[in-house]
Amino acid sequence: MLTRELAIAEYDAGRILPDRLTRKSHGQYLGYAERMLNVYRRGIGRTRRELHRAVWTVFAGEEDCPARRINAFCKLLDDASTYQRDRRGRAAALRRDVFRTAAAMHPLVRKADRLFETEEAKVKAQIAARLGRPWAEIDRDLFADVIDFHRLAEFGGYPDGRALLARYNVAQVQAALFGAVSMTVWATDDFKTILRYAKLARLMHTIVRIGEGEYHLRFDGPASVLRQTRRYGAAMARFLPALIACRGWRMHAVVRTRRRGWSVHLDLSSEDGLNSHLPPPEDFDSHVEEAFAERWGPQPRDGWLLVREGEVLHRGQKVFVPDFVFRHDDGRSVLMEIVGFWTPEYIAAKVQTLRTFRDQRILLAVAGPARETAADLPAEAIPYKSALLVKDVLERLKAFSFNKAGLPVLGAER
């Protein structure tokens, strides 16, 4: 990510507008991006300072490019690079040795005269002979522990100039979120991915269902329970690329500005055209799920429509997104979770999750080996071998009845 010092934004009517490069207004930047990538691709062995100076040269004739934008590009390129570092303190030891030797013959001059007899070149030659290394090599390593003189060892880079510009646009939004005190997301798709990355970013969440298949998610952190804080702005910034990679969302963040001392808001959605460097979520977690969805098809069967990850169950900070939801045309719904690849720990965690949400009867499909090994699984779980059969699921759905609260139960009403 960028640092606060590299953030560029404008303010308009209570909104914060992070710097953004568009094809319409900044078409020339695509060429600049390719040239910057070439600087790093061909820059193996060059110092960080040399690479940065070369990037600045790319923009020598561009009037519409503030210094912070160039430095932001350098930061993003450095983030995709691996630099050699002096982790054993060899540069510091070499400096002490060279300076101690040179100090004994101080002052050094380029050309000896009557007052100053010691020439710099001769002293360098003596030091090189004593160390058994060419002076050019010694000079290169003298300050190898200083960040500006780290040498590029590898450049992972970006696929092309468009990817670099896309990363810049997202990074500027991330930098704007450093001052965020809250973030709210309205989501209709990819619930599991959104919640997974929120947890990885150590964000707490509050979930409210506001309609069928639509949820209101508020993200913050533990300290926000006691007071308003910007402590979690960096976590929200880390979470942003994952959110951008998802579908069907819009986001509203409240951002406290540092200089102005008042709050502004930042609004984004999946339709804003930002592109994440993270891959989009997979439609299915396993081949078993994908194959079952294909066999079921897009049309209802016996009145039941199959929806992928269409519900979110939550108890406090415990969240569960079942693999499928069956929605009947009369308004009823049944959840289903498929257990394929498993370990004893995974099965134990799944059983505990089912107990947490036992008031929401979940239809469970379990691979044969897991069903034989795990004694705690529900007796009504549907076993399968290599593929989950539609007829087995339909039979179990027919066995469900619904109590007065509209909850599915097996057999007689509970």
DSSP sequence for 208-277: EEEETTEEEEEEE-GGGGTS--STTHHHHHHHHHHHHHSSSEEEEEEEE-TTT-SEEEEEEETTS----S
* Domain ranges (residues) in the chain: 90-149, 178-281, 287-410
Cα separation of 245 and 281, whole Å?
A: 7
Band (pLDDT 50/70/90 cuts) for residue 381 is: confident
pLDDT value, residue 318:
82
For residue 181 the two structure tokens come to 């005190």
For residue 274 the two structure tokens come to 């930002």
Give one DSSP letter per residue of 348-391, joined into a string: HHHHHHHHHTTTS-EEEEEEHHHHHH-TTS-TTPEEESSS--HH
Over range 299-318, report the average pLDDT: 87
Residue with tokens 């990538």: 37
One CATH from 1.20.120, 3.30.420, 3.30.70, 3.30.450 for 178-281: 3.30.70
Single-letter amino acid code for the residue at 323: D
**Cβ contact 80:155 at 8 Å:** yes
Residue 87 has pLDDT above 80, yes or no: no
Tens-place pLDDT, residues 273-290:
999 999 888 878 788 899
Number of Cβ within a 10 Å radius of residue 142? 15
Count of all residues that appear for the chain in the document = 414
Tens-place pLDDT, residues 164-182:
999 999 999 999 999 898 8
**Cβ contact 249:269 at 8 Å:** yes
For residue 51 the two structure tokens come to 């690479």
- Over the chain, what is the mean pLDDT? 86
Tens-place pLDDT, residues 101-149:
888 888 888 887 777 878 888 888 988 998 899 988 888 888 888 899 9
Cα separation of 284 and 329, whole Å?
A: 24
Which string of b and e fits 49-64 if b means at least 16 CB within 10 Å?
A: ebbbebbeebbeeeee
Tens-place pLDDT, residues 313-349:
888 778 888 889 999 888 888 999 888 766 777 777 8
Within a 13 Å sphere around the CA of 153, how many CA atoms are in the beta-carbon half? 7
Give the largest CA-CA distance in the chain: 113
- In terms of phi and psi (left: phi > 0; alpha: psi -120 to 50; beta: otherwise), the region of 14 is left
Q: Using CB atoms within 10 A of its CB, is residue 186 exposed (0-12), middle (13-18) or buried (19+)?
A: middle
Over range 266-279, report the average pLDDT: 94
pLDDT value, residue 259:
66
